[in-house]
Structure 1
Amino acid sequence: MKRTFSQYKVAAVQAAPEFLDLDAGIEKAEMLIAKAAEQGCKLIGFPETWLPGYPWWLWLGSPAWGMRFLKKYVDNSLQIRSPQFERLKNAARKNNIVVVMGYSEMGATGSLYIAQCTINSDGRLVHSRRKLKPTHVERTLFGEGQGSDLAVNELEIGNVGALCCWEHLQPLNRYAMYAQNEQVHVSSWPSFCLYEQMAYALGPVVNLGQSRSYAVEGQCYVIASVATVSSAMVDLLCDTPERQELLKVGGGYAAIFGPDGRQLTEHIEPTEEGLVVADIDLEAITYSKAVADPAGHYARPDATRMIVNRKGLHPVEFLDGDADGEANEVERAASPFPDKPM
Structure 2
Amino acid sequence: MSVDHPRFRAAAIQAAPAFLDLDAGIDKAIALIAEAAGNGAALVAFPETWLPGYPWFIWLDSPAWGLQFFQRYHDNSLAYGTPQADRLAAAAREHGVTVVLGLSERKGGSLYIAQWIIGPDGETIARRRKLKPTHVERTVFGEGDGSDLSVYPTALGRLGGLCCWEHLQPLSKYAMYAQDEQVHVAAWPSFSLYRGGAYALGPEVNTAASRIYAVEGSCFVVGPCATVSPEVIELLCTDDTKRALLLPGGGFARIFAPDGQLMHEPLAEDAEGIVYADLDLGLISLAKAAADPAGHYSRPDVTRLLLNKTPGERVVPFSAPGVELEAEPAALLRTDDPLEVAVRN
Q: TM-score, normalised by structure 1?
A: 0.92
- The structure-2 alpha-carbon separation of the partners of 1:253 and 1:235, relative to structure 1 and needing over 3 Å to count, comes to same
1:34 maps to which residue? 34
Q: Secondary structure at the match of 1:251?
A: coil
Code of the aligned partner of 1:240: D
Aligned residues of 2:227 and 2:272 also touching (Cα < 8 A)? yes
Q: Secondary structure at the match of 1:176?
A: helix
CA distance in 2, matches of 1:183, 1:317: 34
Aligned residues of 1:5 and 1:156 also touching (Cα < 8 A)? no
1:45 maps to which residue? 45
Code of the aligned partner of 2:253: A
Aligned residues of 1:184 and 1:221 also touching (Cα < 8 A)? yes
2:139 maps to which residue? 140
Shift of the alpha carbon at 1:151?
A: 0.8
Shift of the alpha carbon at 1:110?
A: 1.5
Shift of the alpha carbon at 1:321?
A: 7.4
Aligned residues of 1:4 and 1:156 also touching (Cα < 8 A)? no
Runs (5+) with no aligned partner, structure 2: 333-345
Aligned residues of 1:14 and 1:252 also touching (Cα < 8 A)? yes
Shift of the alpha carbon at 1:325?
A: 11
1:257 maps to which residue? 256
CA distance in 1, matches of 2:95, 2:125: 17
Kindly report which structure 2 residues correspond to 1:1-342, keeping only aligned pairs within 5 A, or say none: 6-107=6-107, 109-320=108-319
Shift of the alpha carbon at 1:6?
A: 1.4
Shift of the alpha carbon at 1:228?
A: 0.1
Say what the alpha-carbon RMSD is for the aligned residues: 2.0
CA distance in 2, matches of 1:85, 1:37: 19
Code of the aligned partner of 2:208: G
CA distance in 2, matches of 1:181, 1:325: 42
Q: Secondary structure at the match of 1:318?
A: coil
1:338 maps to which residue? none
Aligned residues of 2:5 and 2:282 also touching (Cα < 8 A)? no
CA distance in 2, matches of 1:62, 1:47: 25
Runs (5+) with no aligned partner, structure 1: 334-342
Percent identity over the alignment? Answer: 55
> Once structures 1 and 2 are overlaid, which stretch shifts more, 305-314 or 172-181?
305-314
Code of the aligned partner of 2:316: E
Aligned residues of 1:147 and 1:311 also touching (Cα < 8 A)? yes
- The structure-2 alpha-carbon separation of the partners of 1:239 and 1:293, relative to structure 1 and needing over 3 Å to count, comes to same
The size of the alignment, in residue pairs, is 328
Shift of the alpha carbon at 1:317?
A: 2.7
CA distance in 1, matches of 2:52, 2:16: 10
Aligned residues of 2:79 and 2:105 also touching (Cα < 8 A)? yes
Q: What do the CA deviations read for 1:184-237 (whole angstroms, capped 9, x no partner)?
A: 000000000100021111111110100000001101000111000000000000
Q: Secondary structure at the match of 1:105?
A: strand
Q: What do the CA deviations read for 1:131-186 (whole angstroms, capped 9, x no partner)?
A: 00000000011000000000111000101100000000000111000011111000
